[in-house]
A and B are shown apart, each in its own frame.
Chain A
Amino acid sequence: MTDIIASPSTRRRALEKGVDIEALAHRLGRSTIGPEDLEDSGGGKASGPAADTSYWEVDHAHYGPVTEEPVSRFARIAARNLAAAQTLIPAVTHHDRADVSMIESLRADWKSQAQARGVRLTALAFHVTALSCALRQFPRFNASLSADATRLILKEYVHIGIAVDTAHGLMVPVIRNADRKGLWQIAAEIADLAARAQARKIGPDEMGGASMTITNLGGIGGNAFTPIVNPPEVAILGLTRTETVTVWDGETPRPVPMVPLDLSYDHRVINGADAARFLTHYAGLIADPRRMLI
């Protein structure tokens, strides 16, 4: 007999739906499974602590004219997962910035080559490459914690997720084995995945399984934000708009273009000192891309 409590009818529904009751209970951290737990169990139900939200139920029309639109299924699943991540993960965000002058000059140097190849060599491509290098150096960032937090799974591969803002919501396609791909290929893949994400033509096997995710607001604006970790990953790197910062070389002021870096991480796996070391190392890779070779 199993230790999970579920009525015979619930067990039968689970069998019909192909749901493993034991695994589901494990995932939800529960000893009892009811029929409602089987609904949409594939999406991974959030089990955040219930709170009283009744005071949110307000008649908004009372205060002025309003219109209403339904929340899509896609958005509802995303909302649930985000809420679970925000509630269940003790996350910290660490801020730093990196000198991008060398990257900018390389991009300018290679512009004609890029045009010849038909690839737009974006700053993001450099970030994907740099992050791949950094993950090789810091394996704890390339890890996942089991749902019950009893096992840390360390990954031997490096896949980088790219958060893409689309008309129908946020999607995170993944560049597989980014550590084994060259800059041109990565740039081409980013462009391809982003275009197909917009068209909603991303296969399920092209998402998930990432080591870490990059969320890039650089093209829009801002100088810092606190991204939400995308579980089961343990860290996410946010980028905002590059700004020219005054750096003092002794007495001499020098303008330097710097990209703000925001690293949110799961504090259960990563400590603050590790995060600071990681981001310092990362900023170094961006400031001098030659370091990615050694």
Chain B
Amino acid sequence: MSEHTELLVIGAGPGGYACAFRAADLGRKVTLVDARDALGGVCLNEGCIPSKALLHAAEVIREARHMADWGITFGKPRVDLDRLRATKDAIVGQLTGGLGGLADRRKVSTRQGKARFTGPNRVDVDGTELEFDQAVIAVGSAPVRLPGWPDDPRIWDSTAALELREIPKRLAIVGGGIIGLEMATIYAALGSAVTVVELADQIAPGADPDGVRILHAALETQGVTIHTATQVNEVKASRAALTLTCRGQFDGTIKADVIIQSVGRRANGDRIDAQAAGLSVSDKGIIAADDAGRTEHPHIFAIGDVTGNPMLAHRATHQGHIAAEVACGHRAALGTVLIPSVAYTNPELAWVGLTQAQAKAEGRTVRAASFPWAASGRNLASGGGDGMTKLIHDPQTKRILGATIIGRNAGELIAEITLAMELGAGLEDIALTIHAHPTLSETVAFAAERALGTLTDL
């Protein structure tokens, strides 16, 4: 006889474990299956968290160097790569171990193995059959591999890059999205000569061009070479180097010791034999789900990256909670489109809601007001460089429709605007809310005041 569980969650990333824990809290008997040894998925094991640890190290290196201008010199940093890797791994271990404890406390049964559907109510986990009443697919996504590239250990994806195998002398990063730019930030600080090649007209495609311009300049100051509107036509591997032949705005070759491919992520929907459960999977590996997380079959849910873009951990977490609640008979749905995006580069780039370009595409009339961080006392006093807080609003209603922040801690600051937008706050509401001085958060109020014409700090 096969084993039975009430709710099976496949994938223990931020969506999967949040879903499993919420369902357990609501009284379901839950089994959480993941192919990895540790819980936490890509985010904890080889994504958000380890990259943030390395970005912190990169920031300290940069700050220490920067202090020379303030009359404080530390000398050239010596990087003990093994120690740095061990610290990063310890942080990851602490968090994933903590998750194990949270699972035990909720009596969520965790199991390591690859789950594949064998029927509408059955999966096979590495040879063991498991029956379920309800299932949640949370199998995430994986880095896209470009076709036609040589098979070479010096070609990394983001996972390999975060393993911190070595600090290459010359590093080429193909794909200038959030992941590629974070890798550029880390390895440039560690000493690599970094070149980023991006197909689109700008790095961080989709983000506000004014914000991106500031980030672009900052990365160049950090020694990163950036080629936008450029395609990599060919990659050749020889013993001495990897050679990228580029076409577009940059025509020529780039020689590199290591290449990081960061051209996007692909949903993992086609890795679980979803067809056996009667589910269809798109040619992009996506399993479609509605705003309550339901797939074509009401007892099977899908959440997170496997449901398509935007592939972000915080979206998956919310979807996970909702799917758990719906599976347990509650009425719930993801009732928002406000999902903030953050590039943890130096400076950070964060945005939420509409950009001017999106508003224009929708035929919506909007206004933008921005506050330059060159006029922020706190930014200057903290050694911060160029930055900007920009609010997109409706000229009639004065409601906030979107925002972009570029600068230190932009990822933290965007939360205020996201909440303001959720609560329907307008420019005046933000301007009349007292922000502490001197803080970076003031720049949000200043941008609102600028839009209203009441700003006295500029």
Binding site for B on A (CB under 8 A): 1, 3, 5-8, 11-12, 15-16, 18, 32
Q: Once bound together, how far apart are the Cα atoms of A6 and B424, in whole Å?
A: 7
What are the 8 tightest A-B residue pairs by CB atom distance, in nearest-first order? A5-B424, A11-B335, A16-B331, A8-B422, A7-B423, A15-B331, A15-B333, A1-B337
Nearest chain B CB to A35 CB, angstrom units? 13
The winner among B335, B353, B397 for most chain A CB atoms within 10 A is B335
Q: Check if B218 is an interface residue, CB within 8 A of chain A.
A: no
Chain B 420-432 interface mask (CB, 8 Å, partner A; 1/0): 0111100000000
Assess whether A12 is in contact with B335, with CB atoms less than 8 Å apart: yes
Residues of chain A within 8 A (CB-CB) of B336 are 8
Q: Once bound together, how far apart are the Cα atoms of A18 and B399, in whole Å?
A: 27
Nearest chain B CB to A23 CB, angstrom units? 15
Identify 22 residue pairs between A and B in the complex whose beta-carbon atoms are under 8 Å apart, listed by A's number: A1-B337, A1-B338, A1-B353, A1-B354, A1-B401, A1-B421, A5-B424, A6-B424, A7-B422, A7-B423, A7-B424, A8-B336, A8-B422, A8-B423, A12-B332, A12-B335, A15-B331, A15-B332, A16-B330, A16-B331, A18-B331, A32-B424
Contact size range, B = 10 to 19
Residues of chain B within 8 A (CB-CB) of A11 are 335
Known: A1-B421, A5-B399, A8-B423. 4 other contacts (CB 8 A): A1-B337, A1-B401, A15-B333, A18-B331
Residues of chain A within 8 A (CB-CB) of B421 are 1
Residues of chain B within 8 A (CB-CB) of A7 are 422-424
Q: Once bound together, how far apart are the Cα atoms of A254 and B458, in whole Å?
A: 91
Q: Once bound together, how far apart are the Cα atoms of A12 and B423, in whole Å?
A: 13
Residues of chain A within 8 A (CB-CB) of B337 are 1
Which secondary structure dominates chain A's binding surface?
A: mixed
Residues of chain B within 8 A (CB-CB) of A15 are 331-333, 335
Residues of chain A within 8 A (CB-CB) of B422 are 7-8
Residues of chain B within 8 A (CB-CB) of A8 are 335-336, 422-423
Nearest chain A CB to B14 CB, angstrom units? 19
Beta-carbon nearest neighbor of A18 in chain B:
B331
Chain B 319-344 interface mask (CB, 8 Å, partner A; 1/0): 00000000000111101111000000
Nearest chain B CB to A227 CB, angstrom units? 41
Residues of chain A within 8 A (CB-CB) of B330 are 16
Q: Once bound together, how far apart are the Cα atoms of A32 and B335, in whole Å?
A: 16
The winner among B337, B338, B424 for most chain A CB atoms within 10 A is B424
Residues of chain A within 8 A (CB-CB) of B331 are 15-16, 18
Beta-carbon nearest neighbor of B422 in chain A:
A8
Nearest chain B CB to A237 CB, angstrom units? 43
Nearest chain A CB to B441 CB, angstrom units? 21
Nearest chain A CB to B392 CB, angstrom units? 12
Beta-carbon nearest neighbor of A5 in chain B:
B424
Beta-carbon nearest neighbor of A8 in chain B:
B422
Q: Once bound together, how far apart are the Cα atoms of A36 and B335, in whole Å?
A: 19
Residues of chain B within 8 A (CB-CB) of A18 are 331
Nearest chain B CB to A191 CB, angstrom units? 43
Nearest chain A CB to B152 CB, angstrom units? 46
Q: Once bound together, how far apart are the Cα atoms of A5 and B338, in whole Å?
A: 14
Q: Once bound together, how far apart are the Cα atoms of A7 and B338, in whole Å?
A: 13
Q: Once bound together, how far apart are the Cα atoms of A229 and B423, in whole Å?
A: 38
Residues of chain A within 8 A (CB-CB) of B397 are 3
Q: Once bound together, how far apart are the Cα atoms of A7 and B424, in whole Å?
A: 7
Residues of chain A within 8 A (CB-CB) of B338 are 1
Beta-carbon nearest neighbor of B291 in chain A:
A15
The B108-154 residues at the A interface (CB cut-off 8 A) are none
Beta-carbon nearest neighbor of B425 in chain A:
A5
Residues of chain A within 8 A (CB-CB) of B401 are 1
Nearest chain B CB to A251 CB, angstrom units? 72
Beta-carbon nearest neighbor of B292 in chain A:
A15
Chain B 380-417 interface mask (CB, 8 Å, partner A; 1/0): 00000000000000000101010000000000000000
Nearest chain B CB to A5 CB, angstrom units? 3
Q: Once bound together, how far apart are the Cα atoms of A7 and B419, in whole Å?
A: 9
Residues of chain B within 8 A (CB-CB) of A32 are 424
Q: Once bound together, how far apart are the Cα atoms of A7 and B335, in whole Å?
A: 11
Q: Once bound together, how far apart are the Cα atoms of A229 and B330, in whole Å?
A: 40
Nearest chain A CB to B258 CB, angstrom units? 42
Q: Once bound together, how far apart are the Cα atoms of A8 and B333, in whole Å?
A: 11
Q: Once bound together, how far apart are the Cα atoms of A58 and B333, in whole Å?
A: 48
Residues of chain A within 8 A (CB-CB) of B335 are 8, 11-12, 15
Nearest chain A CB to B241 CB, angstrom units? 49
Q: Once bound together, how far apart are the Cα atoms of A15 and B332, in whole Å?
A: 7
Q: Once bound together, how far apart are the Cα atoms of A8 and B321, in whole Å?
A: 15
Q: Once bound together, how far apart are the Cα atoms of A160 and B330, in whole Å?
A: 41
The winner among A3, A12, A16 for most chain B CB atoms within 10 A is A12
Q: Once bound together, how far apart are the Cα atoms of A18 and B333, in whole Å?
A: 12
Nearest chain B CB to A4 CB, angstrom units? 8
